[in-house]
Amino acid sequence: METTPAVSVVIPTYNRVARWPAVLEGLSSQTFERSAFEVIVVSDGSTDGTNDLLRNLTPPYDLLFEVQDNAGPAAARNRGIELARGPLILFLDDDIVATPTLIERHVCRHRNGRGDLAVIGPMLTPDDTELSAPIRWEQAMLYKQYDAMARGEYEPGYRQFFTGNASVARSSLVAANGFDLRFRRNEDVELAYRMHRQGVRFVFDPDAVGYHYAERPFRSWLRNAHEYGVNDVMFARDHREAGLLERTRKEDWGRHRLVRWATRACVAQPSFEGIAERVLGGVAAASDSMGAQSLTNHALSGLYNVAYYCGMAEELGGSRAFSEEVGSVAR
């Protein structure tokens, strides 16, 4: 008689064949009973040998592998939810190596918690790899949130629901109609907002650790920042009551004056975005090579914000619309 797993681990993947041996080793080393969890991997149009590798595996746990045409991580996760047999869904990314107690921690928090929960685990920087400067900057931004939540400075919420390492009841995902396929970035936060409105409560477990072996070219990192801006405007249109544009306006006033000046110039004249990229990117690369971490982070922060706000302006329809919606940046 087939038993229903307690948890279904859903992992979308795209062209990460070199990373999978470590990911699989982490899943095989779990303290949680292997017969009590399943792993569902959805390959989103991989072309690098990932499909051949995963098709021929015989791991010590139930593994379901499926291939789909490239449609983005939201579509891959939705397919994973459809295939899942467990009442609890644990989302991991294909560059996250689970520590041995990761699944156990997620399951215990759900079993011992009250009401509908979404459990967020940290994605920490591994000691055995050298991350690029933009990825180190990203990780530093994550650590600020983790540290603040661990100290109790604020409660975790839907904005911290990153599906690189997070779990929620399958019933909550189904009730929210899953991920919105229009979103290629921030699709997890947008879904989390809808679950939040349904009454799902978010908790942070600092011990549900996954190690983040992030690899992303500089151009891809910058494009992501631009796309986050585009998708945040889409989110704001759908969920005006969330106040995202108002919050963005307040955050802009807190930026360094040089960042605000560069952003204002690039939003008013989009062709300047390439110039800002070359200047700030050059500063970041040079300072990183000299070990000037603070200057590197300032340059990357400025570059990310320029790309992000330019993405917002593009989706809003230009500098005038941006000025009206967000405020001073385009004035």
Res 196 pLDDT > 50 = yes
Domain that holds residue 250: 218-330
Residue 1 has pLDDT above 70, yes or no: no
In a domain, 238, yes or no: yes
Residues 37 and 157 occupy one common structural domain: yes
* Nearest to 180, CA basis, from 115, 142, 224, 234: 234
- Furthest-apart CA atoms within the chain: distance in Å: 68
Question: Does the model's pTM come out above 0.75?
Answer: yes
Does residue 37 sit within a domain? yes
Least confident of 72-76, 194-198, 310-314: 310-314
238 lies in the same domain as 260 = yes
Whether residue 330 has pLDDT greater than 50: no
Q: Are residues 189 and 67 in the same domain?
A: yes
Structural domain ending residue among the three candidates 177, 212, 247: 212
Instruction: For residue 28, tell me if it sits in a domain.
Output: yes
Amino acid at residue number 13:
T
**Domain end marker among 212, 227, 249:** 212
Number of domains in the chain: 2
Which is more confident, 143 or 272?
A: 143
- Domain identity same for 185 and 239: no
The tally of CA atoms less than 13 A away on the side-chain side of residue 22 is 18
pLDDT at 270: 72
* Residues 165 and 17 occupy one common structural domain: yes
Residues 297 and 165 in one domain: no
Residues 186 and 154 placed together within one structural domain of the fold = yes
Q: Pick the last residue of a domain from 212, 236, 267.
A: 212
Domain-located, residue 201: yes
The confidence score (pLDDT) of residue 65 equals 95
Q: Is 109 exposed, middle or buried (0-12, 13-18, 19+ CB in 10 A)?
A: buried
Both tokens of 93, joined, read 């990314």
Q: Quick: pLDDT tens for 240-277.
A: 888 887 777 666 554 666 666 677 777 777 777 778 78
The pLDDT score that the predictor gives to residue 140 is 92
- pLDDT grade for 107, boundaries at 50, 70 and 90: very high
Reported confidence tier of residue 232, pLDDT bands at 50, 70, 90: very high
Return the percentage of the chain with pLDDT > 70, whole number: 94
Confidence of residue 329 (pLDDT cuts 50, 70, 90): very low
- Answer for the pair 225, 273: CB distance below 8 angstroms, yes or no: no
Lowest-confidence region among 8-12, 110-114, 164-168: 110-114
Same domain, 177 and 237: no
Alpha-carbon gap, residue 74 to 117, rounded angstroms = 21
CATH code assigned at 144:
3.90.550.10
SS3 96: strand
- 296 part of a folded domain: yes
**282 in a domain, yes or no?**
yes
Looking at the structure, tell me whether residues 247 and 106 fall in a common domain.
no
Specify whether 157 is located in the same domain as 270: no
pLDDT of 53 strictly over 50: yes
Q: Based on the fold, state whether residues 182 and 82 are members of the same structural domain.
A: yes
pLDDT tens-digit series, residues 78-102:
999 999 999 999 999 999 999 999 9
93 and 199 within one domain: yes
Q: DSSP state, 35?
A: G
- Domain assignment of residue 1, yes or no: no
pLDDT at 27 over 90: yes
What does the pLDDT look like over 207-217, one tens digit per residue?
999 999 998 88
Tell me whether residue 2 is in a domain: no
